[in-house]
Amino acid sequence: MTGEGKPFCAACVQMRSGLDRARNVADALSLIDEAATRGAQFIATPEMTNVVDRKGARLLASLPNEDGLEEIAAFAAAAKRHRVWLLIGSLAVKAVAMKGGEKAANRSFLFRPDGEIVARYDKLHMFDVDLPGGESWKESKLYEAGDAAKVVMTPLANLGLSICYDVRFPHLYRVLSQAGAEVLCVPAAFTRQTGVAHWKTLLSARAIENGAFIVAPAQGGVHEDGRETYGHSMIIGPWGDVLAEADNNAPGIILAEIDRQAVAEARQRIPNLALERDFEIFIINQ
């Protein structure tokens, strides 16, 4: 492990997960191994690392609850083997608490270098949208939304957790940053349509407005269930500079150095986190 406060190498794992959980886990482990071999001390995988399946009934029939999810042990072993901090961007897992029928959870897991889970985060904002061309998504029908934000203070840096569609809700990242987050994690499975239009802009905005690093591993390409995701995993610095970017949607890794001192410098130059003020709003009808 890197000593506290020193720069460290971060990696994004880009994937094209399909329907076979075991195969997806094997693919993720291979890329995690590659990232660790290349010096990464913090490794993040994308949203829905273990399965991408838009057919809700089929997905739920194949999922156990967290206690029965074999991939957790595999990822814990990888973190321990490589002595790295490992963020599994999210796993689909059957929800324990169900409100209105059986649902899954879209859940991040952060493993420390001894393989222990130190944080779980359930995606707060569900992707319920109707896009041009007839593309429609209603995540809330299948997934139980989370109800808590998470910041994890690690020896490398303070990590703020989020997942994909959360990136369109800037107040979440402001709260995470004001709570001490220096690296904002945005594992994603962005659709190609929205990715082309907004992915880089949204990530850059979250970095700049919070003076924080962004680590955004993504799904990319045409998946077995028919959906197409954008790829283009990114690591962005707190001044908005792109430190690493996948220039395609193919599985692979990107790496970049994270220096938490750059966060302090950016926030000193533009101290908007400290200068934010409460205010009232008035609606004036004419």
Whether 185 is catalytic is no
Q: Quick check: pTM over 0.85?
A: yes
- Residues 73 and 25: their CA atoms lie apart, in Å, by 11
C-beta separation of 200 from 232 below 8 A:
yes
Rounding to the nearest 10 degrees, give the CA dihedral for residues 262, 267, 270, 272.
150
Cα separations in angstroms, 128 against 3, 76, 88, 95, 101? 42, 32, 23, 19, 18
Angstrom distances, CA of residue 65 to CA of 78, 93, 102: 21, 6, 11
Contact between residue 253 and residue 46 where contact means Cβ atoms under 8 Å apart? no
Catalytically annotated residue among 9, 12, 103, 123: 123
254 pLDDT more than 50:
yes
pLDDT at 128: 65
Q: Which amino acid is at 239?
A: W
pLDDT at 139: 82
Q: Mark whether 47 is an active-site residue.
A: yes
Catalytic residue among 103, 164, 182, 185: 164
Q: What is the pLDDT, as a whole number, of residue 163?
A: 98
Which domains does the chain possess? 8-275 (3.60.110.10)
Q: Given the residues 47, 139, 144, 182, select the one marked as catalytic.
A: 47
Q: Could you tell me if 97 and 138 are in contact, meaning their C-beta atoms sit under 8 angstroms apart?
A: no
| pLDDT of 136 over the 70 cut | no
High-pLDDT (> 90) share of the chain, %: 84
- pLDDT tens digit string along 88-120? 999 999 986 555 568 889 999 999 999 999 999
d(CA 143, CA 161): 18
Q: Which of 207, 233, 174 is nearest to 43 (CA)?
A: 233
Express each pLDDT in 188-244 by its tens digit: 999 999 999 999 999 999 999 999 999 999 999 999 999 999 999 999 999 999 999
Q: Is position 224 annotated as part of the catalytic site?
A: no
Residues 186 and 169: their CA atoms lie apart, in Å, by: 12
Whether residue 154 is predicted with pLDDT greater than 60 in this model: the reply is yes
Residue 133 pLDDT greater than 90, yes or no: no
When pLDDT is cut at 50, 70 and 90, the band that residue 5 belongs to is: confident
Report yes or no: 42 and 184 within 8 Å, Cβ to Cβ: no
Query: Cα(16)–Cα(175) distance, rounded to whole angstroms?
Result: 31
Per-residue pLDDT reduced to its tens digit, 17-44: 999 999 999 999 999 999 999 999 999 9
Residue with the bigger pLDDT between 57 and 101: it is 57
3-class secondary-structure state, position 207? helix
Q: Report how far residue 272's alpha carbon sits from residue 199's, in angstroms, rounded to the nearest whole number.
A: 23
∠ CA(186), CA(191), CA(197), 5° rounding? 85
Mean pLDDT value of segment 121-129: 83
The per-residue pLDDT for 135 is: 61
Given a cut of 80, whether residue 130 has pLDDT beyond it is: no
3 pLDDT exceeds 50? no
Whether 72 shows a pLDDT value over 50: the answer reads yes
